[in-house]
A and B are shown apart, each in its own frame.
Chain A
Amino acid sequence: KAGVTQTPRYLIKTRGQQVTLSCSPISGHRSVSWYQQTPGQGLQFLFEYFSETQRNKGNFPGRFSGRQFSNSRSEMNVSTLELGDSALYLCASSLVGEFHNEQFFGPGTRLTVL
C-alpha cells in the first residue's frame, strides 16, 4: 500500500496570504488528523476529520481550517498567514480514528512565512 502523501512538500508564502495543504491518506483509512510542528511548541494537534466531518479540534485560531472529501483526502487551509505559522505541517491517517489506533504520518509540508 502507498503511504500517506502530502503536497506540496515545501511552500514559501508572505504574511497576509493564505495557503492550502493537501493530504492523501492510506487507501482504506477514513480518519485524517493534522498536526503542526514548531521548535518552540513541538507537535500540536490541529484537527481530525472522519467521513467528511470534523470530529475533534485543537486550540488553534479560526484562521486554521480544514475539510475532508468523500475519498478521504483532506485539505487544510491557513488564512491571513503570520510569521508564527512557519512550521512543518503533518497529516496522519488511521483506519477509523479511534483512540486505540496507531496513526501513519506523511512526510509533511514545510511552510515558511516571510
Chain B
Amino acid sequence: SQQGEEDPQALSIQEGENATMNCSYKTSINNLQWYRQNSGRGLVHLILIRSNEREKHSGRLRVTLDTSKKSSSLLITASRAADTASYFCATAAGGTSYGKLTFGQGTILTVHP
C-alpha cells in the first residue's frame, strides 16, 4: 500500500506558469524525496529534504516539508514543455528500512507549449 496521497492527480498548465504538487504521508520519516518519471521509464531523482529541514531549492525546484502536518509540496517555477512527466514523492523511514522508499501515487503534469 502507498504511504500517502498526492494532490492533484493531474495538472495541466501552460509553459511559463508555475506548477505546485502536494504530498501527504502517514508515518514519521527520516527524509522525503521527489522523483520524476517520463512515460513509464525509470525514475529520476530531483531533490531530497530531511525531516529537520523546512525548505530546499534546486534550480527551478522548491520543496517544502511540514512534519507537523506530514505534508510536502513541490513547486516548479517557469515550467517548460520538457517538464511534462509524472512526479512522485517518496519517503524514507529510517531505522532498519534499508533501501526502502515508500512512494505516493504521483501527479501527472502536462505542460503545453
B96 beta carbon closer than 8 Å to chain A: yes
Q: Which residues of A contact B35 (CB under 8 A)?
A: 105
State the CA gap A26–B33 with chains docked (Å): 20
Given contacts A4-B42, A90-B43, A105-B44, contact A58 B100 (CB under 8 A): yes
Most buried by B among A32, A55, A100, A102: A102
In the complex, per-residue mask of B46-59: 1 if CB is within 8 Å of any chain A CB, else 0: 00101000000000
Q: Are A98 and B98 in contact (CB under 8 A)?
A: yes
User: Could you tell me how many residues of chain B have their Cβ less than 8 Å away from some Cβ of chain A?
Assistant: 31
Interface positions of B (Cβ within 8 A of A): 1-2, 30-31, 33, 35, 40-45, 48, 50, 88, 90, 92-106
Known: A48-B99, A94-B99. 20 other contacts (CB 8 A): A32-B99, A33-B101, A42-B2, A42-B103, A42-B105, A43-B88, A55-B99, A56-B96, A92-B99, A97-B99, A99-B30, A99-B92, A99-B93, A99-B95, A99-B97, A99-B98, A99-B100, A100-B50, A104-B45, A108-B40
Q: Can you show 11 pairs from A to B with CB atoms below 8 A apart?
A: A35-B101, A41-B1, A42-B2, A42-B104, A56-B98, A56-B99, A100-B30, A100-B50, A103-B45, A105-B35, A105-B44
